[in-house]
Structure 1
Amino acid sequence: ELLLNMTGDDMENIRMELEKLVSFTMGRDVITDEDVEAICTVRVTNKIFDMVTAIVNRQTKKAMDLYEDLLTLKEPPMRILFLIARQFNQILQVKELMTKGMDKGAIASRIKVPPFVAGKMMPQAKTFTREQILSCVTQCVEAEEAVKTGRLNDRMAVELLITRKF
């Protein structure tokens, strides 16, 4: 599960990370969590998930640190903004499907994500009301509009979004 959390659901990426793990642990019968954490590359979408978690938990410093990590990895601020908006939108969808009584598998199928991803979003969806999550989505849209109309530069728009109180 840790491997999938770090690599995502792209089969080619999983294959490459497994090859690295097998080479790293050559001769051992067991691959540990420490091995996975030491060798596997964390995908950008995982950092975004962690950043959104930090934002919703009001851990501004952690969210900003993750944002700086993404900038260091040469991720464009507008892509980061898009991924944050997508994450909040998915959390909103999960919230609505949970209120209809759907389980993790049904939610995953409906929003087209792996079940473990849906399972990670469900606690986030429970933390907030529908209106609070909708407000987050709206603030993402407003930040994107501010960039596209020239009122804010892209980096500043994302930083302001991260530091807002939801």
Structure 2
Amino acid sequence: MDAKQAFRELKQGRIAPVYVIFGTESYLMNEFVERLQESLVQPEHRDMGIVRFDTAETPVDQIVDEAETLPFLVPSKLILVRDSVLFASGKESSRVEHRPERLQAYMAQPLESTVLVFMVPHEKLDERKKLVKSVKSGDGTVSFSPLHADELQQWLLKRATGQGRSMGAPVAEELLRRVGTDMHALAAETDKLCLHAGAGGAVTLDAVKSLVPMATEQNVFKLTEELAALRTEAAITLYYDLLKQREEPIKLLALLVRQFRNMLYVKELSSQGYSPQQMASQIGLHPYAVKITGEQARKFSQRRLATLLSELADLDYAMKSGRVDKSLGLELFLLKTGSRGAS
């Protein structure tokens, strides 16, 4: 099942005895575990009612032994297992021997007073393994993939509403542009803005611009936007601001290379009929980043992007070999690129 369905069932009190939760969105995965803890174990019982393991250090026999042991002094027990061995394609440590068949037997007849959760920080489970096929035949697998752009925006609006504040869509969009797609960082910045707004207040665009600093990678997004729009002066001003923040020119160059390369990938995949979600999976980007990158890519021709990548490769070599001053070299590249435009 997907994350939405898992949260919905949890809210309705339907809890499976065994879960295998996986995906790359760690914030939602952690939130699901927190909700499980709140549902199953009282705060004063957490020392006795929650047990943690890692399959890189603990054999599955020991984990199953714990699962088969009745809770002591508490009505129910939650076992949390971090795993990159049993359900994913991670390599087993030679120090730990696992017997997956023992776990498979337990999953067929789990203890009612225990909820066993395997947390797998991988995009996919290893479908070749019998254990994975067995667990997927039930209702215990939950996928936590990155939210789509509109879902991420709605999540921000809902988080503000939950704290008794209001937030408009343009404000959420600006927050995403400044912070990026890391849900941990977005949650922290949203909570800060809600605190600033006060009870019953509204989070404003001015508050976001004055209180939320632009992350380096988001500044590089902005830099490429200014170049595409032929706003050379704005691009240079932004570059100077980054230097004042002690950002290393070689690091900025590497981020520019990555962004122009992603733009080229998106442009090529789009011409082949790929959907934004397919592109996100293919390139390894968040869907929101694909959306922004696609908007920028439309302003550049494929030939221009390829030329820029070649020029950046030459500049990288010149900067690292000392043939050109790092700060000046990147500034000259920005000046030249801004004056020539995106075509």
Alignment of 1:81-160 (within 5 A): 81-160=253-332
User: How many residues align structurally?
Assistant: 166
**More displaced, 138-147 or 102-111?**
102-111
- Does the Cα contact within 8 Å between 1:144 and 1:157 map onto a contact in 2? no
Contact between 1:55 and 1:162, CA under 8 Å: does it hold in 2? yes
Instruction: Letter of the 1:149 partner, please give it.
Output: S
Task: Calculate the TM-score normalised by the size of structure 2.
Answer: 0.46
Greater radius of gyration (CA): 2
Quick one: distance in 1 between partners of 2:294 and 2:187?
28
Q: What per-residue deviation string (whole Å, max 9, x for no partner) do you get for residues 77-118 of structure 1?
A: 111111111111111111111111112222222222222221
TM superposition outliers: structure 1 runs of 4+ over 4 Å: none
Deviations 1:31-69 (A, max 9, x none): 233332232221111111111111222221111001001
Higher relative contact order (CA 8 A, sep 6+): 1
Letter of the 1:126 partner, please give it. R
**2:204 aligned residue:** 32
| Higher share of residues assigned strand | 2
Partners of 1:135 and 1:144 lie apart in 2 by 14
Structure 1: gaps (5+ residues)? none
Distance 1:30 1:105 in 2: 32
Q: Which residue does 2:216 correspond to in 1?
A: 44
Gaps of 5+ in 2: 1-172
Deviating more after overlay: 22-31 vs 81-90: 22-31
Q: Give the Cα separation in 2 of the matches to 1:47 and 1:102.
A: 27
Q: State, as a whole percentage, how many aligned pairs show the same letter.
A: 27
Aligned to 1:56, which of 228, 237, 240? 228
Alignment match of 2:247 (pick from 75, 78, 102): 75
Q: Greater shift after overlay, 49-58 or 60-69?
A: 49-58
The Cα of 1:29 is off from its aligned counterpart by: 4.7
Partners of 2:295 and 2:189 lie apart in 1 by: 28
In 2, distance between residues paired with 1:8 and 1:101? 26
- Which amino acid in structure 2 is aligned with residue 48 of structure 1? V
